[in-house]
Chains A and B, each alone.
Chain A
Amino acid sequence: MTYIPHTKEETREMLDIIGVSSIEELFKDIKPDLRPKSFDIPKNRSEIEVIRHMQELASKNAAHLTNFLGAGFYDHYIPAAVDAITSRPEFYTAYTPYQSESSQGWLQSIYEYQSAICELTGLDCANASLYDGGTALYEAAMMAIRITGKTRIIMDSGVNLIYRTMLYTYTSNLNIEFVETPVVHGQSSREQIYKHIDERTAAVIVQNPNFFGAIDDHSDIIEKAHSFGALAIMSVYPLSLGVLKTPGEMNVDIATGEGQSLGIPLSFGGPYLGVMACKKDFVRKMPGRIVGATVDKDGKRGFVLTLQAREQHIRRERATSNICSNEALCALRASVYVSLLGKEGIIELARLNHRKSEFAKDILGRVSGVEVKRSSPTFNEFTLILNKNADVVAQKMIDKGFAAGFPLGRFYKGMNRYLLVAVTEKRTKEEIEKFAEALEKVLCD
């Protein structure tokens, strides 16, 4: 199948008008010495064959496990209406809304998405999205460096290790100094952060809830950061903001986050959604597309891409970022998702996650060989200390049909017996109880 509609006659007519005898003649600028040495691609297949092949491959993957695995990427339920909207080709086969008059649907959707992110984070402005939570955090760090003109970053080790590692990768050729501060009893170490913060500091980066699931009020840290002229960056779990104290309430300057929790499937790692919001003073330094409202010639409201003078297609090597697209379709998913949940639904959903997670803590705490870390309150994810190596336990739990959680030993030295467990609204009481039973069997074996 090729999806090329040309008949022989049409091709002939077109060639005649061009004034060449064959299509190959159009490639004469590619001289023989530039031609491929090989082009060994399998021959075409039918749609039926490709679908069958893909189904076979899909069946080799474990979608059947009962999921208690999170670590920043969560198994939430996605209402069917989200897919109904994002499956509309009027959305998914369009591109960046460069021509505003014929893209008002997309532009208004992005404006509404930006509004939702502002409401959730309690901040003034949001962009049209970035690639994912990790690249969003990197962009926030670079933004802080641009705003402050300083190059030292203090990062709490409660920030997802994947994101911390990404930040180090991106900045390895730049002169940026990172200081990592420890998590003590689940909370950001004030003592260590205050010890390292100084006049050279561009930003303090924290995460809430942190990688261990613990929630915190970082207001004091943020106040301290501001007293040194540094900015505060917070990586968030957007769904938790239905109930948790917002970055805005803590006086955060830039909030970022992985928006996957807002109606985006796990899909083996992507596409996801990079959320970014900031205070209004910094909007002109923010990377990414931004949609603004304006009026047309008749005074009617309409929407356009705005503040484009920051961007690469105009400013080239002096742009605020090299980013040229966003994750629009994922942002649309998030916008439809929060519109379905609404003002009260997002609170109920966040509370349900918390309630089930607290229940699971209670049940799992009674399993012999398990200690629940209770030094900090948590949202929907928490840490267990097991009497055995957590990697081995998680492996055995797979055989019992559970993705039991994320063993922390690989990321944190000395935590070989720690398991990070997430409980979303999808988990039933029965599943949680069976999980506890299975865990007990594995631990007592």
Chain B
Amino acid sequence: MRLIYEKSVKGRRGFKLPQPDVPEQEGIPAKFSRKHKANLPEASELDVIRHFTNLSCMNFSVDNNFYPLGSCTMKYNPKFTEKIVKIEGFLELHPLIPQLLGGGRLAQGALEIIYNTEKLLCEITGMKAFTMQPLAGAHGELTGAMLIAAYHKNKGCRRRHIIVPDSSHGTNPASAAIAGYDVIIIKTDKDGCMDIKEFKQKLNKDTAAVMLTCPNTLGLFNTRIKEITGLAHSVGALVYYDGANLNAIMGKCRPGDIGFDVVHLNLHKTFATPHGGGGPGAGPVGVSGSLVKFLPISRVMKRPGGVFYLNYNNKESIGYIAPFYGNFAVILKAYAYMLILGKDGLIKASEYAVLNANYILSRLKDYYKLAFNRRCMHECVFSASRQTEKGVHALDIAKYLIDKGFHPPTIYFPLIVKEAMMIEPTETEPKETIDGFIDTMIEAAKLAETDPEKLTTAPRTMPVKRLDETKAARDLNLRWKPT
């Protein structure tokens, strides 16, 4: 489709500003003014609406398609939450209002929501306190790593490294490195979990923390998890819980109960806030009692009389990690989601997420090689290695699924599984959709044997065929330019 810039017609306008109701003033001095106009498109409102509406139709989305993108928890996003964020009292509230003298009373509703959400997340995870400020999962990880650093610094030591398993999300080692730590990688054992023997060898007094996802990115719950947290604590190291996969265990296990010290959650995964094409998300961080004092400024507190206020007086805090209180509109949606589901609904979400994943695992394991032959939690990881022998790769299967109307699973991750296909159906998908997906996957496995070209030339039904990514990176074209 042509760019909105290429559709531009000189003289068109999409929005009319009011006539100035104040007298003309002296303009901005030329010295401080731009010389050339910004070449923005000239389009009518309908031009703009039609352009972006047509663009929207070129996307797969949860509302259109099954979207079993592993580790991303693409569950249904309830519509009532969209209505809530548009209530004027939330939408138009300036974040500095409660920071004005006497302004706190004019943001009581917003502060109460942040406070209540923190409390709910504490109960779901077994942590002592939460900060709602981190603006995404990876931002939560960085915040967590900084909290870990503050904890050790406070004890008078500078521990140098953070341990992560080789199955971890790429953000884990990246966040640890950006917080100033060396990263030590531990390999995965034959059961699909972090190799405890190697872990014991690498763990020492210089270990600041070990970062784990549980269930891990292979969809497997580590049955020796308590042993790992115990070992880490025995050398004074902390244990970090990457909550990307919390959707597997709500009401079944709480990180805080089994020795995790720092937890980040992804509200856009477990708590059904929309992924927005890549954001905004929210990555709140929970901590155990000994780390509460390091949480970012400010914190929402409640006075005995029930009045909420912002506390800025925390000398040991790591400081400001976000301009305000987090992605408030996202927090709002997650809060509403927890309220509508309630205790039983949250537990059921995890139960049916695990049921759906195991159903897929059971029906596909005869056609694709399972990365680890165990029952899974909320996602299952297959390898297309058998198909690769016939010249068909995970990428080809993914593209074939697109032609059949399914968003592909996460592919080529975790990195430790050759030709990985990581499938996370979530609890909100009905059996017939999942059956349709499974049947298509089986069909693809058969085509790999009989007619691989059907797969290697897919997709054929999309606005474009396979794109030349090498050219994109070599001949960089990152913007429209006026001719």
Contact = CB atoms under 8 A, between A and B. Distances in A.
Given A81-B45, A241-B38, A358-B25, A326 B279 contact: yes
Contacts of B93: 61-63, 266-268
B223 A95 contact: no
Given A24-B351, A26-B377, A99-B399, 8 more contacts: A13-B431, A44-B345, A112-B5, A270-B323, A293-B472, A339-B14, A345-B40, A428-B21
A300 B464 CA distance: 7
B17 A112 contact: no
A317 B40 contact: no
Interface stretch (A168-176, A196-204, A223-231, A365-373): A168-176
B389 interface: no
Nearest to A325: B279
Contacts of B319: 165-166, 168-169, 172
A18 to B, nearest CB: 5
B369 interface: no
A179 interface: no
Contact of A165 (B123, B320, B430): B320
Contacts of A267: 85, 90-91, 93, 328-329
B280 A271 contact: yes
A269 interface: yes
A136 B382 CA distance: 37
B52 A336 contact: yes
B87 A269 contact: no
A58 B336 contact: no
A359 interface: yes
Contacts of A430: 21
A398 interface: yes
B281 A325 contact: yes
Contacts of A141: none
Interface in B374-417: 375, 377, 398-399, 402, 407-408, 410, 413
A122 interface: yes
Contacts of B284: none
Interface string B103-146: 10011111011000000100110100000000111110110001
Interface string B90-105: 1111111101111100
Contact of A283 (B78, B408, B472, B476): B476
Contact of A271 (B51, B135, B253): B135
A39 B124 contact: yes
Contacts of A135: 135, 139, 322
B399 A268 contact: no
A358 B20 CA distance: 12
10 contacts: A57-B110, A63-B93, A79-B15, A131-B280, A245-B33, A283-B478, A294-B471, A307-B473, A325-B137, A325-B138
Interface in A320-334: 321-330, 332
Contacts of B78: 1, 3
B156 interface: no
B372 interface: no
A87 interface: yes
B355 A3 contact: no
Contacts of A326: 278-279
B275 A339 contact: no
Contacts of B444: none
Contacts of B82: 87
Given A270-B326, A354-B27, A6 B252 contact: no
Contact of A34 (B84, B226, B362): B226
Contact of B278 (A33, A85, A95, A308): A95
B459 A268 contact: no
B254 interface: yes
Contact of B55 (A105, A118, A342): A105
Interface in B54-101: 54-65, 67, 69, 72, 74-78, 80, 82-97, 99-101
A379 to B, nearest CB: 7
B228 to A, nearest CB: 12
Contacts of B20: 352, 355-356
Nearest to B78: A3
A177 B276 CA distance: 37
Interface residues of A, number: 211
A184 interface: no
Contacts of B113: 57
Interface stretch (B166-174, B231-239, B285-293, B447-455): B166-174
B479 A61 contact: no
Contacts of B344: 2, 43-44
Closest 8 CB pairs of A and B: A269-B324, A44-B342, A58-B89, A169-B319, A62-B106, A271-B280, A329-B276, A269-B95
Contact of A92 (B14, B48, B277, B358): B277
Contacts of B1: 104, 108
Contact of A268 (B90, B171, B254): B90
Contacts of B473: 292, 306-309
B100 A398 contact: yes
A268 B328 contact: yes
Contact of B23 (A24, A46, A72, A359): A359
A73 to B, nearest CB: 6
B304 interface: no
A398 B276 contact: no
B177 interface: yes
B96 to A, nearest CB: 6
A317 B177 contact: yes
Nearest to A7: B431
B100 A391 contact: yes
B8 to A, nearest CB: 8
A24 B477 CA distance: 52
B391 to A, nearest CB: 17
Interface string B463-483: 111111101110111111000
Interface stretch (A47-55, A149-157, A437-445): A47-55
B94 A31 contact: no
A1 B345 contact: yes
Contact of A120 (B23, B38, B56, B67): B38
Interface string B314-354: 00001111111111111010001011111111111101101
B275 A93 contact: yes
